[in-house]
Amino acid sequence: KEALLEIKNLHTGFNIEGKTYHAVKDVSFDVFPKEVVCVVGESGCGKSVMSLSIMDLLPKHNGKVDKGQILYKGRDLVPLNTKEMNKIRGKDISMIFQEPMTALNPVLTIGFQMDEVLINHVKIPREEIRKKSISLLQQVGISRAEQIVHEYPHQLSGGMRQRVMIAMAIACQPQLLIADEPTTALDVTVQAQILELIKNIQEEVGMAVLLITHDLGVVAEMADRVVVMYAGQVVEQSDVDRIFYNPQHPYTRSLLNSIPRMDEEVEELNTIKGIVPSLKNMPVVGCRFADRCPEAMPECREITPRLGETEKGHSVRCILYDASRPEMEEEEVQS
């Protein structure tokens, strides 16, 4: 099977006071057609930077992909200019964000904004555009679509606005939808509805979804495959069952332990102690999780683990596993 999206050795750097810091450092993974891949990790682990890198939406003044490839159907998106990227954005790859209010124009009606998307990307006769906008809104579960087109974003609830964003995102039948924390700002019941909508649309339209989340509950609900990120790197990657039933990286295990359990009376969430190292304080040598890892050993600060396959389709970056220990030569070079 051929990958729809292949991210290869992606490095995204930010220029801070004349120095480059990598928020994404050597990230590689694939998304296959019609598959839901969840990228999970705490905030500050590089998940959003990674997704903005794919869409070429990094802050222009200081952020840039400075190494690696982002292959969409075999074509590298990294060297494309804005005009070429505009053709791909929305049409082949769409993106939805955590706060739809920022992506919608507050002074234009929902209908006007829906129509714009169709006019810019889809070849249909002008007189049919409004009808198409309404049917897209209905497709995302908005029953009052004919009224909603005359309303402004602030007149809608957060959940409704996210539905509108999804309608816009699927207007051109993209093959890949990138959703960055699409339900984080919503309350729990609405969250569940929006996730179900994304899942249904994904199956209906047959698109792939790259879903960014910090919430393992969302992962359990949605994912076929999971990419766990920590401090700008992939630390574990596998199918959803193995991530939940055979998690190998101590960070993944800590994340799983911090999910509140219904059958236990926990006063306090068992969250992971400590914080993700900031860009400026990233350890140069050794494991980036060492300061917080319950299983850290002295050598974790001397050996830099690499992402290695422990079994077919399951990769881990932790020296508890032989596959993650660098080759002898590499180790010599480092010392």
Q: Which of 289, 306, 307, 323 binds ligand SF4 (CB under 6 A)?
A: 289
Instruction: Give me 58's structure tokens.
Output: 């990094």
Would you say 99 or 295 has its CB closer to ligand SF4? 295
Give the shortest CB-289-to-ligand SF4 separation in angstroms: 5
Helices (H), the chain: 47-55, 82-88, 100-103, 110-121, 126-139, 145-148, 158-170, 188-205, 216-222, 240-245, 250-257, 328-334
290 binds ligand SF4 (CB under 6 A): yes
Q: What are phi and psi of 115, to 5 degrees?
A: -55, -45
The amino acid at residue 324 is S
Would you say 68 or 182 has its CB closer to Mg ion? 182
Going 230 to 236 to 242 to 245, the CA torsion angle's sign is negative
Q: What are phi and psi of 123, to 5 degrees?
A: -90, 90
Q: Which of 296, 302, 308, 326 binds ligand SF4 (CB under 6 A)?
A: 296
Rounded Cα distance, 45 and 151, in Å:
37
Select the binding partner of residue 289 from ligand SF4, Mg ion, none (C-beta < 5 to 8 A, by kind): ligand SF4
Give the shortest CB-287-to-ligand SF4 separation in angstroms: 3
287 binds ligand SF4 (CB under 6 A): yes
For ligand SF4, the binding residues in 208-267 under the rule CB under 6 A are 250
Rounded Cα distance, 146 and 138, in Å:
9
Would you say 172 or 231 has its CB closer to Mg ion? 231
Say if CB 161 and CB 101 are below 8 A apart. Answer: yes
Give the shortest CB-235-to-ligand SF4 separation in angstroms: 7
Helices (H), 8-123: 47-55, 82-88, 100-103, 110-121
For ligand SF4, the binding residues in 30-89 under the rule CB under 6 A are none
185 binds ligand SF4 (CB under 6 A): no
Is residue 5 helix, strand or coil? strand
Would you say 216 or 318 has its CB closer to ligand SF4? 318
Chain residues binding Mg ion by CB under 5 A are 48
Would you say 142 or 287 has its CB closer to ligand SF4? 287
Select the binding partner of residue 48 from Mg ion, ligand SF4, none (C-beta < 5 to 8 A, by kind): Mg ion
Going 26 to 56 to 16 to 280, the CA torsion angle's sign is negative
Give the shortest CB-281-to-ligand SF4 separation in angstroms: 16
For ligand SF4, the binding residues in 313-332 under the rule CB under 6 A are 318-320
Binding site residues, ligand SF4, CB under 6 A: 250, 287, 289-290, 293, 295-297, 300, 305, 318-320
